[in-house]
Amino acid sequence: MTRRQPRPPDATATAADTPVGLTVHARPWAHGSVLALRGELDLDSVAVLRRALDRALVLPGTVVVIDCGGLAFCDSTGVGALLEAAAHADGLGSRIELARPRSLVRRVLELTGATEAFPVHDTLPPWHPLPRWAR
């Protein structure tokens, strides 16, 4: 087994290194934001998640749902970033919830005890789009 070389930050994945990397798609919902993750959350990609969470937690009192349905892998660095974000959100009066983790990701969350820090849901919250004036 060979270890892949780390990619520079914000590098674009190519066919040779797919599914390495992480993309985050953010969309508003009635109580805050949904961040849909796709790819791998690890040391090489954790900065992408941190930037997205910083933007999603700008306003206090929001709920950020992290959709893990497209997350193929999460290492201890990713779990640590999620836990740091949860503590930061709590300090702002906000909350982070996880949704749709695949079995491998759910197992990592369970083994590390992270499921105690987050509400974990099997589905996404009902879609409640914001009115145009609130976007």
- Give residue 115's pLDDT: 93
**Contact (CB, 8 A) for 43 and 12:** no
Cα dihedral 10, 16, 21, 23 sign: positive
| C-alpha to C-alpha distances, 17 to 7, 20, 46, 58, 73, nearest whole angstrom | 9, 6, 17, 33, 14
Q: What are the pLDDT digits (tens) for 47-98?
A: 999 999 999 999 899 999 999 999 999 999 999 999 999 999 999 999 999 9
Query: What's the rounded Cα separation, in Å, for the pair 5 and 135?
Result: 40
CATH fold group of domain 20-124: Transcription Regulator spoIIAA (3.30.750)
Considering only residues 71 and 127, tell me which one the structure prediction assigns the higher pLDDT: 71
Q: What is the pLDDT of residue 11?
A: 38
Domain locations along the chain: 20-124
Strands 120-121 and 32-41, sheet pairing: unpaired
Determine the pLDDT at residue 42. Answer: 96
Closest CA to 43 of 11, 68, 7, 72: 7
Instruction: Identify whether the C-beta of residue 59 lies closer than 8 Å to the C-beta of residue 81.
Output: no
Whether 6 has a pLDDT exceeding 70, the answer reads no
Tokens of 82: 């999620």
pTM for the predicted model, two decimal places: 0.78
Secondary element (H or E) of residue 99 = strand 95-99
Q: In what order do the strands lie in the sheet with 95-99?
A: 22-29, 32-41, 63-74, 95-99, 120-121
